[in-house]
Amino acid sequence: MVVPPKSARPRASMIAGTSPMRYLVLSDVHANLEALEAVLADAPAYEAVLSLGDLVGYGPNPNECVERVRSLPNLTSLVGNHDLAALGELDLAAFNAYASSSAEWTARRLDSEVRSYLGSLAPSLGCDGAFLAHASPRDPVWEYLETPDQGPANFHRFESALGFVGHTHVPRVFQETSSDEPSHVVMPGKDDEIDLGDGVRRIVNPGGVGQPRNGDPRAAYGIWDTEARTFAFRRVPYSFEITQTKIRSAGLPHVLAERLAHGL
């Protein structure tokens, strides 16, 4: 099934952003409740939340994770490709065997209210002067934004100084150079903070909460401060062994449990 363009999908929970705020920025929770709770316990004070999609898929607690995120203050939320797959809106042939199997498992377990909520979300929207997309500005559902040459075409798709994406599960910053040259790409470390007030346009990926993929098993997230004009990358350990046990007990592919220990 073809996903409707963002203009045709409701834009749930979008914040006008008229005053300075500290945003908790989450992406790719992937039904990992232990990782999500660790992030929420670790996060410094914030007034609003950005969720960049893929609340479900891979992990064993899809309903609980959606409801937990929905309970957070001033939420702006996107739908991701795994969310859409669980809703039956994407062809599972486009996924690998593990992702396809987990999407089918998730689809059978989604509560009707959770299903309705995920179905109300768009894969991209604007919030507080930033552009948000699950995957990339030019392809909000599928494109993995990873290499410098992808930068120019994506910066052309929005006008604000700042964009946020998820999907790759890897913390990464694209910095615009010129309209024709590859972007400068920065791979931040834990607790790195970037200055957003220097006039450089950026696309920021906070990394994955529930399934990190850069060799670090700790849950990744970020804090965007619109007053200080900074973005801080953060990592927090969590009890992935509990999630692993849940995955195996649920009958999900064992590789989805094993990879959590290695951040892969």
pLDDT digits (tens, 9 = 90+) for 161-174: 999 999 999 999 99
Angle between helices 33-42 and 62-70 (to 10 degrees): 30
Q: What distance in Å separates the CA atoms of residue 240 and residue 209, rounded to the nearest whole number? A: 12
Q: What distance in Å separates the CA atoms of residue 101 and residue 208, rounded to the nearest whole number? A: 20
Per-residue confidence band for 191, with pLDDT thresholds at 50, 70 and 90:
confident
Nearest CA among 139, 194, 135, 199 for reference residue 169 = 135
pLDDT at 128 over 60: yes
Mean pLDDT (whole number) for 127-154: 97
Least confident of 30-39, 129-138, 179-188, 235-244: 179-188
Query: Assign residue 128 a region: left if phi > 0, alpha if psi is -120 to 50, beta otherwise?
Result: left
Neighbours of 85 (CB within 10 A): 24
Domains of the chain: 6-261 (3.60.21.10)
pLDDT digits (tens, 9 = 90+) for 80-107: 999 999 999 999 999 999 999 999 999 9
pLDDT at 190 over 80: no
DSSP state letters, the chain = -PPPPGGGS--TT-----S--EEEEE---TT-HHHHHHHHHH----SEEEE-S--SSSSS-HHHHHHHHHTSTTEEE---HHHHHHTT-S-GGGS-HHHHHHHHHHHHH--HHHHHHHHT--SEEEETTEEEESS-SS-TTT----SGGGHHHHHTT--SSEEE--SS-S-EEEE---SSSPPEEE---TT-EEES-SS--EEEE---SSS--SS--SEEEEEEETTTTEEEEEEE---HHHHHHHHHHHT--HHHHHGGGTT-
Q: What distance in Å separates the CA atoms of residue 167 and residue 127, rounded to the nearest whole number? A: 19
Per-residue confidence band for 18, with pLDDT thresholds at 50, 70 and 90:
low
Per-residue confidence band for 115, with pLDDT thresholds at 50, 70 and 90:
very high
| Confidence (pLDDT) at 250 | 97
Least confident of 33-47, 181-195, 209-223: 181-195
Nearest CA among 189, 260, 264 for reference residue 38 = 260
Per-residue confidence band for 189, with pLDDT thresholds at 50, 70 and 90:
confident
Mean pLDDT (whole number) for 227-243: 97
* The token pair that represents 256 in the structure block: 């989805």
Mean pLDDT (whole number) for 28-54: 98
152: exposed, middle or buried (C-beta count within 10 Å: 0-12, 13-18, 19+)? middle
